Amino acid sequence: MKTKLLLLLLLPLLMGASCKKDKDDGLTKPTQIGANTFSCKINGENFIASQSLFGPTAIFVSNVQSSTPYFLLDGRNTNSQPYKEIELKIFEDVRVGVVYKLGGGEQNYGSITYRYPDDLYKTSINSIGEVMFTRVDNTNKIYSGTFSFLCVNSINQQIKITNGRFDVKIQ
């Protein structure tokens, strides 16, 4: 009898522990539908691409498939002061599931620019990162994936970009 009573008392605790809620990290949801989203954490603080009324577009994407292919993605927040722009550039045809290295001697790079005044932080031989595509749809022009990188400026100050995600469609 005591065992049954103890079991009845512990059952709600065990059930509550097994339920896992999705944690909202304040970033855009990781989708693969061409939702035109771009977000990450910059030194632990949320960054979400957004456009001011008269500023440049929040997200710019280009996928050039030629003898010298490249994929370029810019996420901008022109509502912040200073305004921030994060750029990812891959000098290859992109494919799902491939981890593209940034910096570390690779031509591919990640960067963040603080505008007005300008201060550029970029991956380098000693500051590296990666991009991985979770969807590459050249027919519908939808590209989704994740990224993270460490970058430095000209006086060796570092910025850490983490939890990056994007879901974009070329218009």
Q: Round to whole Å and give the CA distance between 137 and 121.
A: 30
Q: What is the pTM of this model?
A: 0.82
CA-to-CA dists, residue 1 to 4, 7, 15, 114, angstroms = 5, 10, 21, 68
Q: Which is more confidently placed, 4 or 79?
A: 79
Which sequence spans correspond to the domains of the chain?
A: 34-169
- Compute the average pLDDT of residues 133-158: 96
Of the chain, the percentage scoring pLDDT greater than 70 comes to 84
Asked whether the predicted pLDDT for residue 150 surpasses 90, the reply is: yes
| C-alpha torsion angle, residues 140, 36, 77, 99 (rounded to 10) | -70
Provide the pLDDT confidence category of residue 171 given band limits of 50, 70 and 90. Answer: confident
pLDDT value, residue 53: 64
